Amino acid sequence: MLLNERITVAGNLFFKYRSFVFPVGLSVLMVLERRHFYYFNRSHTYDLIFELICFAVALLGFSIRLIAVGYSRAGTSGRNMKSQRADSLNTDGLYSIVRNPLYIGNLFGIIGFSMLSQNYEIVVINVLLFSCFYVPIIMREEQFLLDNFKEEFLEYAICTPAIIPNFRLWKKPQLKFNYLKLFYREHTTLLGIATAFFAAEMLREFSMNNIFVLDTMWTSIFTVTLLFWMVLRIFKKKFKTMDRIA
């Protein structure tokens, strides 16, 4: 099999399981690193501030996803798992400064969570693994877009960077921000972030104190996020027309 064909096969496989591989992998690494946890600056207060900084980095990535999805066109920027889909080409908003804003958002989420390990080597390793995992996906997606949009995508790709944003290329979004699409698509991502940090906090406390402690702040964040997710799931099932709108 040619190298290009291998990359295509890998891209299809990684695309299908992209929502599961990294959460599982990060969880395993976090458990393996539990012996190295310590209170930042030997203070629980400073440690809490450190955790909030990590959480803020992850939320920055989530915010990037929100902006990209909220201004995207119908039938694009979806969470479909089985196959590629793009009814039109996004070229304005965040897509005007970088071709893959959703994956940039994912990267910040991974960096934020990896920082909780308190080991810069883990952060670097996860960034490298992220690159190895997502580059074949990006290559497969770009081939799909090239096959479907041909010259339109080629002209866009020539002018727009794939990974590092060029803010001088910014174009104002043509569509209004779609809050319904936002809630429909990204509520699970938000729950995933809150769950990951809540579980990591319990693991860190157990590793340092040999006892499971439910921190008030993280328990509150997780509970509120879970309730928000449940409300949206009920709303989604009751109003199935959201599938067409989003």
CB-based contact 104:65 (threshold 8 Å): no
Report, as an integer, the average pLDDT of 186-196: 90
Question: At residue 246, does pLDDT exceed 60?
Answer: no
Q: Which domain holds residue 13?
A: 3-245
Locus of tokens 């599961």? 20
Of residues 202 and 7, the one with the higher pLDDT is 202
Q: 29-70: per-residue pLDDT in tens?
A: 777 766 667 666 677 788 888 889 999 999 999 999 999 998
CB-based contact 76:99 (threshold 8 Å): no
CB-based contact 225:191 (threshold 8 Å): yes
Q: Sign of torsion, CA 52 127 192 185?
A: positive
Out of 1-5, 22-26, 150-154, the most confident range is 150-154
Q: 165-183: per-residue pLDDT in tens?
A: 999 999 999 889 888 888 7
What CA–CA distance (Å, rounded) separates 244 from 181? Answer: 10
What CA–CA distance (Å, rounded) separates 86 from 213? Answer: 45
Phi, psi of 93 (to 5 degrees): 65, -140
Which one, of 58, 53, 170, lies nearest residue 108 by Cα? 58
pLDDT band at residue 191 using 50, 70 and 90 as cut-offs: very high
- Number of structural domains the chain divides into: 1
Which positions ≥6 away from 16 have C-beta within 8 Å?
81, 82
E-only strand ranges, the chain: none
| CA atoms lying within 13 Å on the CB side of residue 159 | 16
What CA–CA distance (Å, rounded) separates 108 from 167? Answer: 18
Question: At residue 81, does pLDDT exceed 80?
Answer: no
